[in-house]
Amino acid sequence: MRVTPAVVADEYEWVHGRADVVVPLVNETRSYLGEQFGADVDSIAEADYHEAVDAVFEDGDRAVNVAALVGLLRDLDVEDDYPGFVVDELLGRELAAMLAGGQPLRLLAEATFHVADVHTHGGPEASAGADDLDAALAAGVQTRLPGWPWTEGESPFSV
């Protein structure tokens, strides 16, 4: 794999254009997690998704790594899938974390990846990495964006 500025721009366009798939998955994931934690969590719109993707790709150091992970997951396929289960999960978790940002959001995105992954199914003709890619985009973006009550206002632990 060779990653150039042009490749990063192409992956940005691909991720940006994935809103019709990722935004419903974000909202489904937020709804499920909200129920589990007894919290009202705001849903997101396509404009929110686009804004988050823009912010990630505006940071060139982050963008090159995100683009590489997106490209790997888009092309990843393993015969009979299961032997490749570990690698697509690993790449998906890392992509979700990179999209979310620094700690503690990074760790939350990794955990959320597994929740989103349960709700994605690429279909029989999809590659092994396809559903993990959508789950990673959803987990990372949903974690990055506001809407959770605990993220509103200042932390009670600030000194």
Q: What is the pLDDT of residues 136-151, one digit of tens each?
A: 999 999 999 988 877 7
The pTM assigned to this predicted structure is: 0.91
Mean pLDDT, rounded, of the chain: 89
pLDDT(125) > 70: no
For residue 128, pLDDT beyond 80: no
Q: Which two tokens stand for residue 99?
A: 């999209």
Residue 26: DSSP 8-state? H
54 band by pLDDT with thresholds 50, 70 and 90? very high
Residue 3's pLDDT band (boundaries 50, 70, 90)?
Answer: very high
Average pLDDT score over residue span 77-106: 85
Domain boundaries, the chain: 5-149
26-30's contacts with Cβ under 8 Å and 24+ in sequence apart are: 26/138, 26/141, 26/142, 26/145, 28/119, 29/112, 29/115, 29/116, 29/119, 29/138, 29/139, 29/142, 30/142, 30/147
Q: CA-to-CA distance for 125 and 133, rounded, in angstroms?
A: 15
